[in-house]
Amino acid sequence: MTLWGSLEVEDIQALAAYNDTRLVEFKQSWSKKSLNDTDWEVCNMLLKRYYKNFQNHARNLIEKVLIKGAVLFQCWVGCSSSIDDIEDFTYKVALDGEDLVSINAKEGMWVAGNSPYSQDAQRMMQRENGTRKSLIDVLKHQCHLIALSYLTAGKEAYSRKIQPQVHITKKLDTSGTEVICMVTGFYPKPINVSLWKENKIEEVLSTMTLPNGDGTYQITVLSTVINSVDQQSVYCQVEHSSLKEPLIVHLDEIHHTLIGLIVGITVAVIVCVVGLACFVKLYKKRRRYTSIIGLPMDRLSWRRDW
């Protein structure tokens, strides 16, 4: 099994762990400053112990249900930094892209997911009383303390606000004109992008909000076909926390630097190609790992792939 882990504060990767070293690597300048050497020794000890136990449980499940071939285990852990929400944590495990088991935070019980092996995994883990109690204790205390420390240390990084660069253009079609609004280079992630022609255009296609290589985000919105007569009244409206008021850019008007546009378009093309390939692959498999979205902004998450 190949171990890989990533700890994220908000959406910024703070730590990473790899199988070849089994040591935590610091990805941000403020990552190591949040805990003292003793705390890091304890943290490394807990991680190594947990990795070993997780591998043992995974192997036991594979042997019990006779799973053949290579498999992928994924684990997602989230905990709150709020003093009032010390028991607000999440622990989920997936097998080959499907939810396997999770812990009910309030009851401290294992809950089966939608994987064909979920019931077996739930019964197996429920019998491990010591493992369950130790895991819940770590989630309630150590994870909570780390979240609190990192949210304080990295406050400047994840509290920054970067204004979006906006470009709206058109694409000629036999039946009319398509209007495309690309918004890139913004942070934080939440954003609202809409196309208007006197009133808001409801029939639009939109990408997900995708990451750029520099830690910012991008999104593209595409309208349905619009008659050429009405093109002059078309505009893109962007609402973002970095803006004091909605940003409005009319068709063929540019709101960015030329370099920003070139980089944005290049990244968009690359992301679209990769995204399409992933979509085709996932569609063929007819399964995916459920995304963890809609979490409060004061959370820390630790993800691993086996």
146-196 pLDDT, tens digit each: 888 888 888 888 889 999 999 999 887 776 778 899 999 999 999 999 998
- pLDDT, mean of residues 10-18: 80
Q: Which helix (H) or strand (E) holds 173?
A: strand 165-173
Position 78 scores a pLDDT of 84
Q: How many CB atoms lie within 10 A of CB 294?
A: 5
The whole-number pLDDT of residue 162 equals 95
Angle at 126 between CA 121 and CA 128, to 5 degrees: 105
Degrees (nearest 5) of the Cα angle 163, 164, 168? 150
Across 199-214, b (16+ Cβ under 10 Å) vs e yields eebeeeeebeebebee
User: What residue type is 166 in one-letter code?
Assistant: V
Q: What is the pLDDT of residue 295?
A: 35
Q: Quick check: 64 pLDDT over 50? A: yes
Q: How far apart are CA 8 and CA 290, in angstroms?
A: 18
The DSSP symbol for 115 reads: S
**How high does pLDDT run on average in the chain?**
77
pLDDT score of 217: 95
Check pLDDT > 70 for residue 292: no
Name the residue among 207, 245, 226 with its Cα closest to residue 169. 226
pLDDT at 36: 79
Is the pLDDT score of 265 beyond 70? Answer: no
pLDDT tens digit sequence for 202-258: 788 899 999 897 889 999 999 876 666 566 688 999 999 999 999 999 986 655 433
Angle made by CA atoms 256, 276, 178, in degrees to the nearest 5: 50
Query: What gap in Å lies between CA 127 and CA 58, rounded to an integer?
Result: 15
Q: Give 36: exposed, middle or buried? Use CB within 10 Å, 0-12, 13-18, 19+.
A: exposed
Nearest CA among 170, 169, 84, 144 for reference residue 302? 144
Domains of the chain in sequence order: 4-158+288-305 (3.30.500.10), 165-256 (2.60.40.10)
pLDDT at 300 over 90: no
